[in-house]
Amino acid sequence: MTPAALSVHLQKEMAGFALDIGFDAPSGLTVLFGASGSGKTSVIDAVAGLNRAASGRVALGDTVLMDSATGLHVPTHLRRLGYIFQDARLFPHMTVRRNLNFARTVSRAPADPTEFDRVVDMLGLSHLLARRPARLSGGEKQRVAIGRALLARPKLILADEPLAALDDARKAEILPYFERLRDESDVPILYVTHSAPEVARLATTVVALDAGRVIRQGSAAEVLGDPSFAPGGDRAMGAVIEARVKTHHDDGLTELDAGGLPLLLPHVAQSPGNRLRLRIAAQDVILSKTRPEGMSALNILPGTIADIRMGDGPGAVVSLDTAAGRVLARLTKRSVHSLELRQGSEVFAVVKSVAVAPGDVGGPAR
């Protein structure tokens, strides 16, 4: 078993519920995932040492940061953390270079030009070093904030909904940098979000919260593929599958190999042979009892129904096991009954190529 990089056990009285949470996270990018008000920010603030109202124990590897039983509470500035906020919080009077170097000043680490150049190259900041924040886009500011957190030489990076203040275009710009941070840095990351697409793209491990409790922990595919957990509602449901880029076609489509099944998507900027992870929204999946013919949708995935969850209203969610992995389909109860769907039924999932958004496709954690 992989040793825990971060161990968190916390209790705190909250408005409307009591926070009582415990989880051990391995290295990589661990997402705290849940609806607004589920306790995510309270957890990350306690890990940072910004919230002393919580009791319990927080340890980073062999280093204990907080233990209410012994009265231990390491001050925030001594915890060796890099914190990335929703807004970049850059110093407006400093250039990008000075903002980046400020992290080293605070951490009192000796200058390391090699490390500085590595971070600047990883985040694509070299052409921005002489600018001040007023001349940066929102995405560029967040890249600088990520770089500043890295250059503090942290033992843990905390990211509290770092993309929440950005529009879709800026989010698409920043997500690949978080993927690189996850894959190229040895520093564990605790990342807070209520966005299922961000979980699908980034998470090595997901800790799902509801009303201050851990209700599910596992991989992105395991948690997002569970229809009983939908913090964004049924419309936000979607399963995560991994695939390999097979070829790029002349008509602008990329063909993937997903467990031996072909998947066609609008052009994906990955080389043939590269593995990737994609999210298929449940509302974009149609089920058929026979293999469809004479239709425009290009992706047809045969599978077996593993579960059917009837909602309180007219809707239902069908979980389908395919060679590509678990797929969810959001249907009406009327369709479930008219098709006589039940557990064990053999069906075909139909997915339009253009239904998978570019922001739902990214590289798997390595």
pLDDT band for position 58 (cuts 50, 70, 90):
very high
Three-state SS letters, 11-53: EEECCCCEEEEEEEECCCEEEEECCCCCCHHHHHHHHHCCCCC
Residues 210, 314 within the same domain? no
pLDDT band for position 188 (cuts 50, 70, 90):
very high
CATH of the domain at 257: 2.40.50.100
219-256 residue pLDDT tens:
888 888 888 776 656 666 888 999 999 999 999 999 99
Is residue 365 a part of any domain in this protein?
A: no
Q: Write down the pLDDT at residue 107.
A: 66
- The more confident residue out of 4 and 298 is 298
Last residue of a domain, one of 173, 194, 224: 224
Q: Write down the pLDDT at residue 349.
A: 96
Is residue 91 a part of any domain in this protein?
A: yes
Q: Write down the pLDDT at residue 86.
A: 84
89-101 residue pLDDT tens:
899 999 999 999 8
The answer to whether residue 1 scores a pLDDT higher than 60 is no
Kind of pairing between the strands at 189-193 and 29-33: parallel
Kind of pairing between the strands at 275-281 and 285-288: unpaired
Q: Give the number of C-alpha atoms closer than 13 A to the C-alpha of residue 10, restricted to the C-beta side.
A: 32
Contact 354, 266 (CB under 8 A): yes
Last residue of a domain, one of 197, 224, 251: 224
Residue type, 236: A
Is residue 26 a part of any domain in this protein?
A: yes
Residues 214, 249 within the same domain? no
CATH of the domain at 122: 3.40.50.300
139 vs 98, 170, 191, 302, 317, CA distance in Å?
18, 5, 17, 40, 36
Q: How many domains does the chain have?
A: 2
Residues 35, 183 within the same domain? yes
Mean of the per-residue pLDDT values of the chain = 89
pLDDT band for position 296 (cuts 50, 70, 90):
confident
The answer to whether residue 208 scores a pLDDT higher than 50 is yes
Q: Write down the pLDDT at residue 365.
A: 61
**Section 246-274 average pLDDT:** 94
Residues 220, 267 within the same domain? no
Q: Write down the pLDDT at residue 64.
A: 95
Residue 52: phi, psi to the nearest 5? -95, 5
Q: Write down the pLDDT at residue 235.
A: 63
Among 32-46, 117-131, 223-237, name the one with the lowest average pLDDT: 223-237
Is residue 191 a part of any domain in this protein?
A: yes
Last residue of a domain, one of 224, 255, 288: 224
Percentage of the chain lying above the pLDDT 70 cut = 95
The answer to whether residue 333 scores a pLDDT higher than 70 is yes
Among 138, 128, 309, 321, CA closest to 239: 321
- The more confident residue out of 14 and 119 is 119
Residues 154, 207 within the same domain? yes
Question: pTM of the prediction?
Answer: 0.86
Structural domain harbouring 260:
238-360
